[in-house]
Amino acid sequence: MSILSGLSSPADLKALSHADLERLADEIREFLIQKVSATGGHLGPNLGVVELTIALHYVFNSPDEPIIFDTSHQSYVHKILTGRAEKFDTLRQKDGLSGYTARHESEHDWTESSHASAALSYADGMSKAFELTGRGQNNVIAVVGDGALTGGMCWEALNNIATGDRNVVAVVNDNGRSYSPTIGGFANNLEGLRAQLANLRIQPAYDEVMEHGKKTLKSMGWVGERTFDALHALKEGVKYQVLPTEMFPELGMKYVGPIEGHDIGALLNAFNYAANYDGPLIVHVVTEKGHGYAPAVNDIADQMHSTGVIDPATGIPVKESHPDWTSVFSAELLAAAEKRDDVVAITAAMAGPTGLAPFAEKYPSRFYDVGIAEQHAITSAAGLALGGLHPVVALYSTFLNRGFDQLLMDVALMNLPVTFVLDRSGVTGSDGASHNGVWDLAVASIVPGIKIAAPRDAERLSEEFNEAIEITTGPTVVRFPKGDVGDEIEAVERLQGGIDVLDRPQEVDDEALQVLLVAVGSFAEPALQVAQTLNDEFPGEVQVTVVDPRWVIPVSPHLVDLTAGADLVVTYEDGIIHGGVGTSLSEAMSAAQVDTPLRQLAFPTVFPLHSSRSQLLREVGLDAESATNTVRGWISFLDEEG
């Protein structure tokens, strides 16, 4: 029987020998490869933390001693060790296992973090709570990727943690990468430490001194914590001449490391020391993303940070790929940069996922990766604009939330020409609540002077992006969803104000109920399905016209004019219902004293659980069939009232 099959909780680990723990690591690594290749998910990061997570659960007592992952896409091994291995066939699927820590799944999951750089702040607050409630002896452990340490919140948290004597253990999981390779001065310091660790491994003198130290301590009867404390001091003495010692201690915190992250013995020694240390400390663990799986290790782009369904033997995707929104934007950005020397690009540690990698390769001097620091990215973009350039800031939609103050006060207040390209806008699905990009319209629409475009297809993405970078009077946003871009949807006519008519009756019947369906972005296709069904179902009684405003914020006065000639206006969007396009259009109609009834098809104000995009749209009534039924009900109500 495998060791893994006999585990149901972290307590079961403590009965295992070190040799058993190493066997368990091999079993878990193979388990991850087989399961994640079948469902998709964050494979590379979790292969890199197998030994690290085993050692944490072996030494510390979860859930009484919380282990918080930042970000928790690296929590798969934690889930396996806390009794959820049998659920991995449902990973990231509807009603299945979340791809992040989830409080409803287990008492061992204290947070639901999937935005980086927050774990140390959680740990700071929890350790304060423990101190006030008589549990101050318990450790709080934050596992922080080196990429997350490029975010400002980590350093704000460390500034507070270091001032106290609370038992916070900050484990730096240093694999040299966030999504892409980690950048910046801090990353360079870690790289120096990693290099010196590699040098120490091949220095015979180091090995001889350590072996002699172990024998001497054993002969003296020193065991456990005293052994590690003495050996650690000895190790520090050996490497003092070659390792920089000022970086972490200057924070006022004890520093242990660097530790080989795939050596269970070294990890257990380090964590035993940390568990018995009074006060905050940092354990620097060097790991390899994708460790033990050649296709991940050899994947130069992102070491299989996140995959779809793959062949476990080769790592090659099973599903045939099609042109997606990101690649269309990537090509347009390159084309724009060839024509304009003032176009520069900024990303927050996600050059590949946001389509900026080709730009970075061709125009390295005009590309800036600032690390996981959206706030800095946006204000730095403001500085670039003040210097006469036109910055393009490419982010996942959900991460714009983190930089709202900078968008509002550092960019918009000065009417600076910065273009924000928001990938994964609207419903994304399997990554769960915090990665769905349903807030961007509501968040950005309240910014004075901002202009927001929502392209419906690849041609409109090209068109609207190029229009955006021509605007010099303030910030612009171009948003698009996750996935394949789909077919072109041609307009019947372009009206004044750039509004596209996608479908309308050939002849207007004054006796028929006139419905104006305002489709936002990629919802143009289901909107056309709704219109066709209702026009066919109620010939001569209902006439549905579908329009795409293209630029949805601010609301065009020409769109308001169209609403005045309708009997019912319906907005159809994948942003939250409060503060989106429907809300803005309603306010504009009210200001123009247009009293046509307006109804909204939009995302409810909820945090949705993970499922596929199509499942989630159907669940909240935004798929074409559900939308048709809803609009049919509104039409029936108006008929009864009329």
Task: Please check if 175 is assigned to a binding site.
Answer: yes
Q: How far is CA 622 from CA 8, 210, 486, 526, in A?
A: 40, 64, 18, 9
Q: What pLDDT, on a 0 to 100 scale, did the predictor assign at position 244?
A: 41
Catalytic-labelled residue, pool 22, 260, 332, 374: 374
Stated as kind and residue range, the H or E segment containing 142 is strand 140-145
Counting runs of H as helices and runs of E as strands, what totals does the chain give? 23, 18
Residue-wise pLDDT tens digits, 616-633:
999 999 999 999 999 999
Contact of 446 with 579, CB cutoff 8 Å: yes
Mean pLDDT of 30-36: 92
CA 392/CA 378 separation, integer angstroms:
10
**Residue 320 carries which DSSP code?**
P
Share the mean pLDDT of the chain. Answer: 87
Kindly indicate the confidence band of residue 247, based on its pLDDT and cuts at 50, 70 and 90: low
CA 236/CA 257 separation, integer angstroms:
9
Kindly indicate the confidence band of residue 242, based on its pLDDT and cuts at 50, 70 and 90: very low
Checking 317-325 for CB contacts under 8 A at 24+ apart, the result is 322/484, 322/485, 323/458, 323/484, 323/485, 324/482, 324/483, 324/484, 324/485, 325/423, 325/458, 325/461, 325/480, 325/481, 325/482, 325/483, 325/484, 325/485
CATH (residue range 493-641): 3.40.50.920
Mean pLDDT of 453-462: 97
Q: Is it the case that residue 197 has pLDDT exceeding 50?
A: yes
Mean pLDDT of 450-464: 97
Task: Please check if 374 is assigned to a binding site.
Answer: yes
The C-alpha torsion from 174 through 178 and 181 to 182, rounded to 10°, is -70
Task: Please check if 46 is assigned to a binding site.
Answer: no
Q: Is it the case that residue 56 has pLDDT exceeding 80?
A: yes
Task: Please check if 73 is assigned to a binding site.
Answer: yes
Using left for φ > 0, alpha for ψ between -120 and 50, and beta otherwise, residue 324 falls in beta
CA atoms within 13 A on the CB side of 343: 24
Contact of 445 with 579, CB cutoff 8 Å: yes
- For domain 325-479, say whether CATH 1.10.599.10 is its number: no
Q: What pLDDT, on a 0 to 100 scale, did the predictor assign at position 239?
A: 39
Residue-wise pLDDT tens digits, 430-444:
777 778 889 999 999
Catalytic-labelled residue, pool 402, 460, 482, 613: 402
Catalytic residue list contains 65: no
CA 244 from centre of chain: 33
Q: Is it the case that residue 66 has pLDDT exceeding 50?
A: yes
Closest to 36 in 3D by CA, of 50, 20, 23, 22: 50
Q: Is the peptide bond before 549 cis (omega within 30 degrees of 0)?
A: no
Catalytic-labelled residue, pool 84, 166, 289, 451: 289
Contact of 431 with 114, CB cutoff 8 Å: yes
CA 119/CA 117 separation, integer angstroms:
6
Q: What pLDDT, on a 0 to 100 scale, did the predictor assign at position 245?
A: 45
Contact of 417 with 385, CB cutoff 8 Å: yes
Query: What CATH topology corresponds to 4-297?
Result: Rossmann fold (3.40.50)
Closest to 602 in 3D by CA, of 617, 585, 586, 587: 617
Q: What pLDDT, on a 0 to 100 scale, did the predictor assign at position 483?
A: 87
Q: How far is CA 386 from CA 342, 367, 380, 382, 418, in A?
A: 12, 17, 10, 6, 10
CB atoms within 10 A of CB 138: 17
Which has more confidence, 317 or 353? 353
Q: What pLDDT, on a 0 to 100 scale, did the predictor assign at position 147?
A: 74
Please, where are the H alpha helices in 449-556?
A: 458-468, 524-537
CA 243/CA 246 separation, integer angstroms:
9
Query: How does strand 451-453 pair with strand 476-479?
Result: parallel
Task: Please check if 425 is assigned to a binding site.
Answer: no
Q: Is it the case that residue 213 has pLDDT exceeding 60?
A: no
Q: How far is CA 192 from CA 146, 196, 278, 601, in A?
A: 13, 6, 28, 54
Task: Please check if 147 is assigned to a binding site.
Answer: yes
Task: Please check if 148 is assigned to a binding site.
Answer: yes
Mean pLDDT of 575-580: 93
Assigned token pair, 353: 């996922």
Residue-wise pLDDT tens digits, 133-192:
999 899 999 999 867 788 888 888 888 998 888 999 999 998 875 445 555 555 555 555
Residues 6+ apart with CB under 8 A from 543: 504, 505, 508, 509, 512, 513, 514, 515, 535
Percent of the chain at pLDDT exceeding 70: 86
Contact of 183 with 371, CB cutoff 8 Å: yes
Catalytic residue list contains 456: no
Task: Please check if 206 is assigned to a binding site.
Answer: no
Burial class (CB in 10 A: 0-12, 13-18, 19+), 206: middle
Do domains 4-297 and 325-479 share one topology? The answer is yes
Where along the chain do its domains lie? Answer: 4-297, 325-479, 493-641
Contact of 402 with 115, CB cutoff 8 Å: yes
Residues 6+ apart with CB under 8 A from 204: none
Kindly indicate the confidence band of residue 223, based on its pLDDT and cuts at 50, 70 and 90: very low
Catalytic residue list contains 166: no
Q: What pLDDT, on a 0 to 100 scale, did the predictor assign at position 159?
A: 87
Kindly indicate the confidence band of residue 303, based on its pLDDT and cuts at 50, 70 and 90: low
Checking 446-450 for CB contacts under 8 A at 24+ apart, the result is 446/579, 447/407, 447/408, 447/412, 447/475, 448/412, 449/412, 449/415, 449/473, 449/474, 449/475, 450/412, 450/474, 450/475, 450/476, 450/477, 450/553
Kindly indicate the confidence band of residue 17, based on its pLDDT and cuts at 50, 70 and 90: very high
Contact of 425 with 292, CB cutoff 8 Å: no
Q: How far is CA 481 from CA 437, 473, 478, 529, in A?
A: 8, 26, 11, 19
Q: Is 459 helix (H, G, I), strand (E, B) or coil?
A: helix
